[in-house]
Amino acid sequence: MCGIVGYVGSRPALPVVVEGLRRMEYRGYDSAGIAVVTPDGVLNTAKKAGRIGNLDVELAGREITGNTGIGHTRWATHGAPNDRNAHPHLDAAGRIAVIHNGIIENFHELRAELERDGVELTSDTDTEIVAHLVAAVLREGGDDVVLAEAVRSVCRRLEGSFTLVFVDRDHPDSVVAARRNSPLVLGLGDGETFLGSSDVAFIEFTKRAVEIGQDQVVEITRDGYTLTDLHGNPAEGKPYAITWDLEAAEKGGYEYFMLKEIQEQPTAVGETLRSHFMDGRITLDEQRLDISVLREIDKVFVVGCGSAYHAGLLAKHAIEHWTRIPVEVEMASEFRYRDPVLDRQTLVIAISQSGETADTLEAVRHAKDQRATVLAICNTNGAQIPREADAVLYTHAGPEIGVAATKTFTAQVAAVLIVGLALAQARGTKYGDEIAAEFAALEAMPDLIRQTLERVEDVRRIAREIANAKAILFLGRHVGYPVALEGALKLKELAYMHAEGFPAGELKHGPIALVEQDLPVVVVMPDPTGRPLLHQKMLSNIAEISARGARTIVIATEGDELAAKHAAHLIELPFSPTLLSPLLSAIPMQVLAAEIAQARGFDVDKPRNLAKSVTVE
Ligand code: F6R
């Protein structure tokens, strides 16, 4: 939530900052703003509610020079999404400009303190107070206090989560930033240094990046950076190389990022698999725990939100099947509030593409407080969740700019399958050759995903036919149920349509009352050979809803003649083993939602009210 960019170098800062914001607009699009400082100490700012296009209009015709700048794209928390609350915010003298991602929880006390001191606040945000507090420290300290010192002193008083980035018109050659529970990475160029909520902000200029740690303050200049903790002690960042190209962060001829990201799934899944199986053994990326810990696990919890939660539901099937360890799956936002039974022998698997979802992060912290072991599945280097976990498996989906999860979801599904096999390997519940055989089946999936993508024209046609429906239901059983939930979620978030996913057997216990003439119902069929009993039950469910007038859209394995006979519309998938089949059946769900959203005239990449990473609970 909220995207942040910072730059110091020899280029004009404005285009670097605005371009960085454009790349990160998926993080929030309630407003956008910039601050640029000229070498002779003039602080120029511009900000506008709405998308970056509005800021472009605001900037048109203005000459803003200067090689030091910051920029912000907002997902509103405190204060309505209007011009007044847009970032950057300034202190009363207009010396300091600050941008912020996160929430300052003791904002009310701090605001009251400033008001008592006669400070006039010009916005409703929790951010503006920081500008005034930092300015006060600078004023009181005189020449002895520099911006970084003032920022450290104010940050020690702040509670909550923040990435804060500042420019000071009196020191035009540097940008200062601080972070707690909110992402911040820096990019090192030749004679220029960048900051971003994500490396997407500066991928065009450098692939050398550094993760900024928890409660650290960084000052960047064109020659590099100085990193300290909140007390001024030298600190170390974690350098890493960005492994993807600018192309990955561009639309590449597609109308929407989401459409491109759907097509990138063979690579996203393939890369995730390739990097975790070496010399006949499954490997994790970071393992800060002894293998004996995994051997002694007697219970697994999987936590995540939205699509990541759906990947978690699939993890249950794989892990229980391959290891016989009981698995519970829980929405991360519910987990810590109901006192789950956790101990040293519990493994908590936290799934989060961004690695910064506040609900999931708090679930991780709760698990660790209870001495459980935490394994994170994440798509983003430098994010907080993998930093706090005992072990990490990175999905290698590359940056996902479309707000709705597509390639990161299928990469998460691949990842939970890898984790299932890793646990089976650690615990010896499967022989090495059995694991290798399961992995070989997994390695065939990118090609089957490619074949599935080649056939989506039918899905598009059906989508256009049902685009004006009032509601759509999604049904599945076994691994088809999480896919049904994912289909309904995609449709809600992109097409703003009422959509529900149900286990097909549950339908007759109430939801069947929703079925009326012509209601589109998407049904995920199991493979008739792999799961004959389930297949038979699903056919009965299709018959029940068809008899009540539903228009069935059946996703089935090719050659499934019975499904074809019962379906009003048929979407065929190549054959795949049951546990792996969601990697294919999720794809028509994504295409259906994207196409319906387009047909209804909505922005597929930036659905209303949403942001890509949700850093508030
Ligand atoms: C759905 C979607 C969201 C995310 C959820 C978790 O398309 O994108 O439901 O899956 O907000 O996000 P991460 O995985 O970043 O924790």
Spatial CA neighbour of 586 closest among 314, 367, 183, 230: 314
Q: Which residues are catalytic?
A: 2, 612
Query: Is the distance from the beta carbon of residue 248 to the nearest atom of ligand 1 less than 6 Å?
Result: no
In sequence order, which ranges of 376-479 are alpha helices (DSSP H)? 384-388, 407-427, 432-443, 445-454, 457-466
Query: Is the distance from the beta carbon of residue 306 to the nearest atom of ligand 1 less than 6 Å?
Result: yes
Cα distances (angstroms) measured from residue 535 to each of 280, 476, 569, 587, 606:
34, 10, 17, 20, 37
Q: What is the DSSP string of 466-479?
A: HTT-SEEEEEE-TT
Question: What end-to-end distance do the CA atoms of the chain give, in Å?
Answer: 12
The β-bridge relationship of strands 281-282 and 277-278 is antiparallel
For ligand 1, atom 3, which residue shows the shortest CA distance? 306
For ligand 1, atom 12, which residue shows the shortest CA distance? 352
Residue 391, pLDDT score: 95
Query: Is the distance from the beta carbon of residue 348 to the nearest atom of ligand 1 less than 6 Å?
Result: no
Residue 85, pLDDT score: 93
- The pLDDT tens digits of the residues spanning 383-401 come to 889 999 999 999 999 999 9
The rounded Å distance from CA 63 to ligand 1 centre is 39
Query: Is the distance from the beta carbon of residue 614 to the nearest atom of ligand 1 less than 6 Å?
Result: yes
Q: What is the DSSP string of 102-139?
A: EEETTHHHHHHHHHHTTPPP-SS-SSHHHHHHHHHHHH
Q: Is the peptide bond before 239 cis (omega within 30 degrees of 0)?
A: no
For ligand 1, atom 7, which residue shows the shortest CA distance? 404
Distance CA 377, CA 348 (A): 11
| Fold designation for 457-599 | Rossmann fold (3.40.50)
| Fold designation for 257-443 | Rossmann fold (3.40.50)
Residue 250, pLDDT score: 85
Q: Do domains 3-243 and 257-443 have the same CATH topology?
A: no
Test site for ligand 1: of 353, 413, 485, 608, most ligand atoms within 8 A of the Cβ: 353
Sign of the CA dihedral running 119, 133, 614, 83: positive
The H or E element that residue 296 is part of is helix 291-296
Query: Is the distance from the beta carbon of residue 357 to the nearest atom of ligand 1 less than 6 Å?
Result: yes
pTM to 2 decimals? Answer: 0.88
For the chain, domain boundaries: 3-243, 257-443, 457-599
| Fold designation for 3-243 | Glutamine Phosphoribosylpyrophosphate, subunit 1, domain 1 (3.60.20)
The rounded Å distance from CA 479 to ligand 1 centre is 19
Sign of the CA dihedral running 600, 605, 611, 613: positive
- The pLDDT tens digits of the residues spanning 309-325 come to 999 999 999 999 999 99
Nearest ligand 1 atom to the CA of 380 is: 15
Q: List the chain residues with pLDDT less than 70.
A: none
